[in-house]
Structures are given as C-alpha cells and as structure tokens.
Structure 1
Amino acid sequence: MAIWKEFEIQCTDYLNRRFGAYARFIHQDGADSTVPDILVETKGGKSFYIDAKHSPAQCGQFVLLPDLETCIFEYSRQNVNRINRYAEMIMAYMNEDFDEFREAGTAGKDINMRNGSDIFASWIIQPYRDKGAEFFITNDFTILPIEEFSNYFEVSAKYRIKRSGSGNVGKSRLRSVMDYINSHDYVIMNSRIDGDKLFVTSTQNLHDTRFILRGIEYMFSLRGNEYELRKLSNTYNANVIFSIKQKSSRGLNDEDFIRYLK
C-alpha cells in the first residue's frame, strides 16, 4: 500500500478513536481526487472534510501552456481548479522569465518569487476550501485549521513537464498484452480480466516495471497481492507543482477541536 494511502487510513482511525464521541470520520479511499480524504459528520448534524498530508509531500498542481507568439503562459482549460489571483501572480512572475520557464523540461525550474511560500499556500487553501475542507491533518496527527496552512508548512513550487497519467489496458489490447508478457521474461503465475483491466500474480517483484508494445508504454502496478497492468499516457503537460514540508508541530489541542465538532 502506498505511504500516502496508509497515512490517510491511520489518520481516519486515529480521529475515530480520539474524537468518535463527537463525530464520525469516514475515509473517502481516494477514488475521486476532487474530494478530500476524510469526511466528518458531527453528532450535531454538521459535515465537512479533513485532508491528510504526510510531510514532505506534493500538494496540488495546475497546467500552464506557453504561448510562443505572445510569450506569456496561459491557464489551461484542462485544470480542475478554477484560476485564482494567486495563480495569476505566479503566472505574472513566470512571464517575466518566459524563455527560461518554457524550457524547464522534465527536470523543472523552481519558482523563487518574493513571498512565494505564502502565495503558494494561499493557492492551495482556495481549492481545498472550494471542496469543503476545513482542516488538514499531518505528521504526528497534528490537526490544523485550513486558514493556518502557511504557519505549519513551508511551500515551494516548480514548473516542470509531467506525464499526464495512466489508464486501463483496454479491451482491444488485453490479448496482445497478455501474449507479450507470457512470451517474455516475466514469471506469471495467474491472470484475470476485470472488464478492460488486466491483473496478474508473480513471484517476481514487478512493481513499476515497464515495457513498450506497439508504441504504447505499459507498467506493472502493485495492487495488494497482484499486479495491475496500466497503460501509460503519451501526453505530457507542463505543470506548476506545489510541495510542502512541515515546519511546526503545534496544532489544535483536543479541547479546541472538540469545541469545533460540537
């Protein structure tokens, strides 16, 4: 299990043990990235979200597209989060050094703007507020109000090229992928198909192992006791990516958090 997912579950268990008399805490399992990690339903009928962040961690991103004619960066329509004034401030800073940023590549270029950490934190806060989050929980189960984010985390940002994601193998490719891995040096014990997904078991450690078949890259991804074959995207987007590092461990005390739950 990924560290971040294990941490979300640990935080949910902790909240239920410590504050279960006042509210129910429900892990959202990460199936929908637009929903924060933990739903809170208080005994008084109030509901909101808490997001779990195991520091250090990435914490949000948005896509910028360089316009080579105007030499400015445009906010992509692909972005889930609406543009805000903090994104506009970042874009204005990057436009002053357009050529350097547009050549950032996969290594990326740090965005070292004045008061950057506070600006980046303010960008992070807005989409989480829009999604109904009112608190974060971080290392050592420190609980912090969302508006205090910049007091607890040092936030950095980098502009870099990033692969857009992965998908299911797809029904039309299941047979060719299965034939490929059976005919190469992979020790496959069993396989199963679930819709357009392909799962295999192996005595080898195949996690993150990749191969290319007919111009498409695939990857073995560990799922419990088996591996799912994932089709990697050929699309690369240029993202502003935020990273956080905890700088304070003094969060809300139990009394203040209970008072909020009541």
Structure 2
Amino acid sequence: MAIWEEFEIQCTDFLNSRFGAYARFFHQGGEDSTVSDILVETKSGNSFYIDVKHSPAQCGQFVLLPDLDTGTFKYSHLNGNRINRYTEMIMDYMNEDFNAFREAGTAGKDIDMPNGSDIFAAWIIQAYKDKGVEFFITNNYTILPVERFRKYFDITAAYRIKRSGSGNVGKSRLKPVMDYILTHDYIITDSRVAGDKLFVISPQHLHDHRFIFRGIEYMFSLRGDEYELRKLSNTYNANVIFSIKHNATTSGMSEPEFIDYLKQHHLKTEYTV
C-alpha cells in the first residue's frame, strides 16, 4: 500500500477515534482524484469533506494546451475544475513566455510569477471548496481549515507533461491479462476478480513492475498481501501542477475548535487575492 493511501486510512481512524462522538468519518478517496478523501457526516446534520495531504505532496492540477497559431495556452475542456480568475492569472503569466513553457516537457518549468504563492493558494482553496472540502488534514494529524491554506503551506507550481493516471483492468481484459501473466515469468499462487478489477498473489516482489500487452501498459500495485493489476493511461497531458510543503512551525486547529465546528455549522469565509 502506498504511503499516501495508508495515511488516508490512518487519518480516518484518528478522526473517528477522537471525534466520533460528534460525527462519522468515511474513507473514500483512494486513486480516484475526483473524489475527496474523507466524507464527514456530523450529528448536527451537516456533511462535508476533509482532504488528506501527506506533506510534501501535490495539491491540484489542470491541463493547459498550447495553441501554436495564437501563441497562447488554452484551458482544456477535459479539466474537472472550472476555470476561475486565478487560473486566468496563471495563464496570462505563462502566455508572456509561451515558447519556454510549451517546451517544458516532462522535466517541467517552474511558474515563478509575482505574488505566485498567494495566487496558487487561492486557486487551491477555490478548487477544493468546489468539491465540498472544508478542511485538510496533514502530517501529525494537523487539521487545517481550507480558508487558511496559505498560512499553513509553502506552495509552488510548475508546468510539465504528466501521464494522466491509471484505471481498472476492465471486464473484457480480465481473462486475456490473466492468461498473459500465467504464461510469462510470473509466479502466481492465487488470483481473484472484483468487478472489473484483477488481483493476484505472488511470492515475487512485483510492486510497480510493468509490462505491455496488446499495446497497453499494465502495472502491479501492492494492496496489503496481494497485487492489483492497474491499466496505465497512454495519454500524456501538459499540466499546471501545484506542490505543497507543510510549514511545521504553524500550528493547526485545536481539538476544541474542531469539535465546536462539528457541533455547530459550516464556516463561510471568502478568500481573495
């Protein structure tokens, strides 16, 4: 299990053990970045989300496509986040040095714009509030109100090409992929299918091991005492990617403050640059 995934589970357990008298906390994030990590249902009738960040971490991204005819970047329709004025500020800055950014490649190019950290924080706050996130929880189970994000994190951004992610094997590929594994140099002692997912058990160290079958790349991903087969995307997009590092000298929300929040109502604080 990846460190970030294990930390999500640990944070959910911590929240239930400390604050279970006031709310229920459900882990539901995982590898699907469109779903927030922890759903909170308070006994006062409110519900919201907490996002888990094991610092240092990535914290949001969006795809920009270079338009060679106009020499500007266009906001991709594939983005899950709606465009906002902070996105436009970043795009305006990148357009001023279009050629350098469009050649960023997989190494990436840092976005060192004036007032950058404040603008990046405002984008993150807006994007996560749109997903219903009202708190982050980070190292040492520090709970942070989303509106005060800039206070707690050092934030940077870069533009670079990144593979778009992974997915389940898929029902139509389950048997062919399993047959491939059994006829190649893998020692498989057991296997199981869960919906369109494929899991195997092997005494070999296969975590992150990859192979290509019928033009598609697959990867073994450790899940407890078994491996899940993941289908890797062939799509590479150029993303603005935000990275964060927790400022350890800044304390988070106290337990009494968080309990009071759970017992009462949502905070409705606006954040602007």
Q: TM-score, normalised by structure 1?
A: 0.92
Provide the C-alpha distance between the structure 2 equivalents of 1:66 and 1:18, rounded to a whole number of angstroms. Answer: 48
Q: Which stretch shows the higher mean deviation, 178-187 or 3-12?
A: 178-187
The offset of 1:109, in angstroms, is: 0.9
Amino acid at match of 1:258: I
Provide the C-alpha distance between the structure 1 equivalents of 2:41 and 2:180, rounded to a whole number of angstroms. Answer: 49
What secondary structure sits across from 2:83 in the alignment? coil
Provide the C-alpha distance between the structure 1 equivalents of 2:67 and 2:74, rounded to a whole number of angstroms. Answer: 7
Structure 1 match to 2:34? 34
Q: Judging changes above 3 Å, is the alpha-carbon distance between structure 1 residues 32 and 256 closer, same or farther for their aligned structure 2 residues? A: same
Question: What pairs up with 1:208-223 in 2 under 5 angstroms?
Answer: 208-223=208-223
Q: Which stretch shows the higher mean deviation, 174-183 or 135-144?
A: 174-183
Amino acid at match of 1:168: N
Residue 78 (structure 2) pairs with residue 72 (structure 1): no
What secondary structure sits across from 1:188 in the alignment? coil
Unaligned runs of 5+ in 2: 264-273
Q: Judging changes above 3 Å, is the alpha-carbon distance between structure 1 residues 192 and 19 closer, same or farther for their aligned structure 2 residues? A: closer
Structure 2 match to 1:63? 63
Provide the C-alpha distance between the structure 1 equivalents of 2:179 and 2:22, rounded to a whole number of angstroms. Answer: 55
Structure 1 match to 2:96? 96
Amino acid at match of 1:98: F
What secondary structure sits across from 2:77 in the alignment? coil
Cα deviations by residue, 1:121-155 (Å, 9 ceiling, x for unpaired): 11010121112221111111111211110000001
Cα deviations by residue, 1:130-184 (Å, 9 ceiling, x for unpaired): 1222111111111121111000000111111111122333444444433332332
What secondary structure sits across from 1:126 in the alignment? helix
Question: What pairs up with 1:4-15 in 2 under 5 angstroms?
Answer: 4-15=4-15
Residue 273 (structure 2) pairs with residue 253 (structure 1): no
Cα deviations by residue, 1:63-104 (Å, 9 ceiling, x for unpaired): 000001101000000000100111111111111111111111
Amino acid at match of 1:257: F
Q: Judging changes above 3 Å, is the alpha-carbon distance between structure 1 residues 192 and 145 closer, same or farther for their aligned structure 2 residues? A: closer
8 Å CA contact retained: 2:111, 2:159: yes
Question: What pairs up with 1:77-226 in 2 under 5 angstroms?
Answer: 77-226=77-226
Identity %: 76
Aligned residue pairs total 262
8 Å CA contact retained: 1:142, 1:249: no
8 Å CA contact retained: 2:29, 2:36: no
Structure 1 match to 2:270? none
8 Å CA contact retained: 1:53, 1:137: yes
Q: Judging changes above 3 Å, is the alpha-carbon distance between structure 1 residues 167 and 135 closer, same or farther for their aligned structure 2 residues? A: closer
Q: Judging changes above 3 Å, is the alpha-carbon distance between structure 1 residues 191 and 49 closer, same or farther for their aligned structure 2 residues? A: closer
Cα deviations by residue, 1:217-253 (Å, 9 ceiling, x for unpaired): 2211222222222222111111111110011441112
8 Å CA contact retained: 1:211, 1:219: yes
Provide the C-alpha distance between the structure 2 equivalents of 1:13 and 1:170, rounded to a whole number of angstroms. Answer: 31
Provide the C-alpha distance between the structure 1 equivalents of 2:24 and 2:178, rounded to a whole number of angstroms. Answer: 44
Q: TM-score, normalised by structure 2?
A: 0.89
Q: Judging changes above 3 Å, is the alpha-carbon distance between structure 1 residues 258 and 106 closer, same or farther for their aligned structure 2 residues? A: same
The offset of 1:259, in angstroms, is: 2.1
8 Å CA contact retained: 1:209, 1:220: yes
8 Å CA contact retained: 1:56, 1:246: yes
Provide the C-alpha distance between the structure 1 equivalents of 2:230 and 2:224, rounded to a whole number of angstroms. Answer: 15
Q: Judging changes above 3 Å, is the alpha-carbon distance between structure 1 residues 179 and 37 closer, same or farther for their aligned structure 2 residues? A: closer
Q: Which stretch shows the higher mean deviation, 209-218 or 189-198?
A: 189-198
Question: What pairs up with 1:11-22 in 2 under 5 angstroms?
Answer: 11-22=11-22
Unaligned runs of 5+ in 1: none
